[in-house]
Chain A
């Protein structure tokens, strides 16, 4: 069942990317998909370490909408720092806890932190991240805790 899903997804990707619908090209696509499926199965048999995507679809979409707004706001803040004559830089490194259970949730949280300009996830530790901020203020901790709660919410969506 999973193999069929992967095959359909990859074939759709091939058709979208190529845009040439001749039998020869589509045949190449089928051959590539078969080879990829074979390799994936072999890899799965060796390490048996499949990543499960336990994310709620609609909650994820609304999270990414919220993230885009945050990115715009953070970009504006950093652009102001760059262009202001005296460059109010106030670098700080601090630890922040994460509450996500799965690896995927933690990756989404860490990447969201890095994606918003002004904060970068530098180091991952058990139960938390080390964050570097370019213009640190005490609001940053609250904002990051808010983001943490939102990521945890999309992760927990399939428990319901």
Chain B
């Protein structure tokens, strides 16, 4: 039983670390600010959840687990909020997605492409 918990917790910890590394790779590989935000959110969600789960299993039924869960709940709320704050600041200051990697209308649909970003709000 304890072997099972040990193995499971290390699977979570290593999986979380891999997610964090993948998020970092994504932040350097992606071409512009907007796509990098998405890569960073891998670290934010999958990495954070898996690492905290793994640490909870390591700690067992103790007060440390309660604290870890509280930390997890806080990160669950503050993580997306900070991402939104960064994205909103970029949007308000006029940064728009890169035209080359942006959505292109299907060719069947003639008309104006949505590459001109909506600026009228």
- Do these two chains really belong together in a complex? yes
Name A residues whose Cβ lies closer than 8 Å to a Cβ of B. Answer: 13, 16-17, 19, 68, 71-72, 75, 78-79, 81-83, 87, 89-93, 95, 110-118, 120-123, 125, 130, 132, 134, 136
Contact between chains at B19 and A132 (CB < 8 Å) = no
Name B residues whose Cβ lies closer than 8 Å to a Cβ of A. Answer: 19, 22-23, 25-26, 29-31, 34-35, 37-39, 41-42, 44-46, 49, 63, 66-67, 70, 76-77, 79-81, 83-84, 87-88, 91-92, 97-98, 101-104, 114, 117-118, 121
Question: Bound state CA distance, A105 and B91, in angstroms?
Answer: 23
Question: Bound state CA distance, A151 and B52, in angstroms?
Answer: 26
Question: Bound state CA distance, A58 and B110, in angstroms?
Answer: 48
Question: Bound state CA distance, A111 and B95, in angstroms?
Answer: 22
- The 8 Å CB contact of A87, one of B30, B67, B77, is B30
- The 8 Å CB contact of A82, one of B25, B31, B45, is B25
- The 8 Å CB contact of A91, one of B23, B70, B97, B118, is B97
How distant is A15 from chain B, measured CB to nearest CB, in Å?
A: 9
Which residues does chain A contribute within 8 Å of B83, judged by CB atoms? 114, 120
How distant is A17 from chain B, measured CB to nearest CB, in Å?
A: 6
Which residues does chain B contribute within 8 Å of A92, judged by CB atoms? 97, 102-103, 114
Question: Bound state CA distance, A111 and B87, in angstroms?
Answer: 13
Question: Bound state CA distance, A148 and B29, in angstroms?
Answer: 32
Contact between chains at A78 and B117 (CB < 8 Å) = no
